Amino acid sequence: METRAEVLRRINWDYTYTVEEIDSILKGNDYRLKKPFYIKLLKSFRWYILQKVLSTDEIKEMLTPDVINNLHINSLKEKYHYVRQILYG
């Protein structure tokens, strides 16, 4: 099972941030900074992994229409719009 640090390390290949900085951003209050990481997480990992390594608040914030609509793969958009609808109505 992957840890939060391992997941963040895997999405960090094209960023100049450290894993600790990404973790701090995700735990912070600046949605503009979080959004690209949320998009990358949704594109890169299976749902069950995201559920294990992200908090409930992070998942709720990640599953906003704004983030989901920035996914380029239509099947992922559909999947996460459905997940959002099931979880949050």
* pLDDT digits 0-9 by tens, 2-21: 999 999 999 998 889 999 99
Give the pLDDT confidence of 21-61 residue by residue, as tens digits: 999 999 999 999 999 999 999 999 999 999 999 999 999 99
* Alpha-carbon separation of residue 42 from 1, 81 (angstroms): 18, 12
CA distance 34 to 38: 6
Dist CA 46 CA 30 (whole Å)? 25
User: Which position has the higher pLDDT, 1 or 71?
Assistant: 71
Query: What single-letter DSSP state applies at residue 15?
Result: -
User: Is 44:76 a contact under the CB 8 Å cutoff?
Assistant: no
Please give the pLDDT value at position 68.
Answer: 98
- Interval 68-85 mean pLDDT: 96
Sequence spans of domains, the chain: 4-88
